[in-house]
Amino acid sequence: MKKDLMICLGGLAMLVAGLASFQHVSAQGASGNQSAAAKESAGAAKPEDTEQWAPVPVKVLPGASAGAAPSDAIILFDGRNLDEWVRVKDGSPAGWRVDNGTLVVDKATGNIATKRLFKNYQLHLEWRIPADITGEGQARGNSGLYLASTGRGDQGYEIQILDSWENKTYVNGQAASVYKQAPPLVNASRKPGDWQTYDVVWTAPTFHADGTLETPADVTVLHNGVLVQNHFRLLGETLYIGKPAYRKYDRAPIELQAHGDPSAPISFRNIWVRELN
Chain residues binding Mg ion by CB under 5 A are 142, 144, 257
Nearest distance, CB of residue 66 and Mg ion, angstroms: 26
| Separation of alpha carbons 141 and 21, rounded Å | 71
Nearest distance, CB of residue 173 and Mg ion, angstroms: 8
Cβ closer to Mg ion: 142 or 267? 142
Nearest distance, CB of residue 155 and Mg ion, angstroms: 13
8 A C-beta contact, residue 224 and residue 196: yes
Cβ closer to Mg ion: 84 or 255? 255
Tell me how crowded residue 40 is: count the other CB atoms within 10 A of its CB: 10
Nearest distance, CB of residue 144 and Mg ion, angstroms: 3
Cβ closer to Mg ion: 189 or 257? 257
| Separation of alpha carbons 196 and 113, rounded Å | 20
Q: What long-range pairs does 58-67 form, CB within 8 A, spacing at least 24?
A: 66/225, 67/124, 67/126, 67/197, 67/199, 67/270
In angstroms, the Cα distances linking 122 to 37, 87, 190 are 49, 23, 22
Which residue has the CB atom at the shortest distance from Mg ion? 144
Nearest distance, CB of residue 138 and Mg ion, angstroms: 8
Indicate the SS3 state at residue 157. Answer: strand
